[in-house]
């Protein structure tokens, strides 16, 4: 069992001339239980992406620790798959080449590589595009490949940084449904970061609402809609109630941040 522990994590940027530093993330603690779908939602600039990048090992906190199971996170590794907001497929590799990239690094045999790649190609509905190059794919398709590429190496947790942020709203809706289906099928532990409240509620079981700078966890909202979720979820009265609550909560933060700026 691999629980993600984020324990009293802070990030303080030192002041240029030795004055008091800027606190970007202020003593955040949270856990993502095994097989859980957790979401962090917050206003832009609250440090949610940085927190996720720390979990990936791409950034270091100035205080506190992150652990996956009993393993301290000190750098990036294949046990934590990541999907980025920007398109990050390797353009010189085909869809299959991209998905198999991590398996090749791990020295997985050709036959097994093929089988595992085929399984996830089917899971994201791109079986026919195995030999296409990224430049031939739409944005939504590229992100589906990125998800398959992150899942194929069987990481303990999937870290997702606003992966649908650059997609048009129709595609985004379909991708969200697909992700709840993938999670339902695999029960792969997910930590998903977004500023989109609807997306957060639609996807997650536990929603961590963050404050504006300095970033803290303001509240945790449990959402109990059954998976895989669909369009009906979006229109249910419970959804609207939760949405209203988080909206108010984040609005307060945005207003506070604006006042601080003035």
Partner 1 sequence: MPKPELFTPKQGIPGGIYVAVGLVSAATGILVWCVLSYGGLVESYFLPTPTQVARAFVEMAGDGSLWRHVWASTSVVLTGFVLAGCIAVPLGILMGSFSIVAAAVEPVTNFIRYLPVSALVPLLILWVGIGLEQKVAVIFLGVVFNLTIMVADVSAGVSKALLEVGYTLGATRRQVVWKILAPATLPGVMDALRVNMGVAWTYVVVAELVAASEGLGFMILNAMRGLFTEVIFLGIVVIGLLGLITDQGLKWLRRGLLPWAS
Task: Give contact residues for partner 1 (rule: CB under 8 A).
Answer: 56-58, 75-78, 80-82, 84, 86, 88, 90-93, 101-102, 105-106, 133-135, 149-150, 153, 159
Smallest gap, in angstroms, from Cβ of residue 48 to partner 1?
A: 17
Smallest gap, in angstroms, from Cβ of residue 88 to partner 1?
A: 5
Determine the straight-line distance between the first and last CA of the chain, rounded to whole angstroms: 47
Task: Name 161's bridge partners.
Answer: 193
Smallest gap, in angstroms, from Cβ of residue 86 to partner 1?
A: 5
- Map tokens 């595009």 to a residue: 129
Smallest gap, in angstroms, from Cβ of residue 157 to partner 1?
A: 11
Closer CB to partner 1, 152 or 250, in the complex: 152
Closest C-alpha to 32, from 247, 220, 211, 189: 189
Closer CB to partner 1, 61 or 155, in the complex: 155
Smallest gap, in angstroms, from Cβ of residue 216 to partner 1?
A: 26
DSSP at 134: G
Smallest gap, in angstroms, from Cβ of residue 63 to partner 1?
A: 23
Closer CB to partner 1, 22 or 106, in the complex: 106
Closer CB to partner 1, 154 or 252, in the complex: 154
Closer CB to partner 1, 113 or 213, in the complex: 113
**For residues 176 and 202, is the Cβ–Cβ distance under 8 A?**
yes
Closer CB to partner 1, 25 or 82, in the complex: 82
């Amino acid at each position: 069992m691999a629980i993600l522990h984020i324990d009293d994590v802070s990030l303080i940027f030192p002041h240029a001339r030795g004055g008091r530093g800027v606190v970007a993330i202020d003593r955040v603690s949270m856990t993502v239980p095994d097989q859980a779908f957790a979401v962090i939602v917050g206003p832009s600039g609250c440090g949610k992406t940085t927190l996720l990048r720390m979990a990936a090992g791409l950034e270091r906190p100035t205080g506190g620790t992150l652990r996956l199971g009993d393993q301290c996170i000190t750098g990036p590794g294949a046990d934590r798959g990541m999907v980025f907001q920007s398109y990050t497929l390797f353009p010189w590799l085909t869809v299959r080449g991209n998905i198999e990239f991590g398996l090749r690094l791990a020295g997985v045999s050709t036959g097994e590589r093929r089988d595992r790649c085929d399984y996830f190609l089917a899971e994201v509905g791109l079986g026919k595009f195995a030999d296409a190059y990224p430049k031939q794919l739409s944005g939504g398709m590229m992100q589906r490949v990125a998800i398959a590429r992150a899942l194929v190496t069987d990481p303990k947790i999937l870290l997702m940084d606003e992966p649908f942020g650059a997609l048009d709203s129709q595609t985004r809706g379909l991708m969200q449904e697909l992700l709840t289906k993938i999670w339902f099928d695999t029960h792969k532990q997910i930590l998903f970061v977004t500023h989109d409240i609807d997306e957060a509620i639609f996807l997650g079981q536990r929603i961590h609402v963050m404050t504006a700078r300095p970033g803290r966890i303001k509240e945790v909202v449990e959402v109990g809609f059954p998976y895989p979720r669909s369009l009906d979820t979006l229109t249910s009265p419970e959804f609207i109630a939760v949405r209203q609550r988080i909206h108010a909560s984040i609005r307060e933060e945005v207003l506070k941040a604006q006042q601080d700026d003035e």
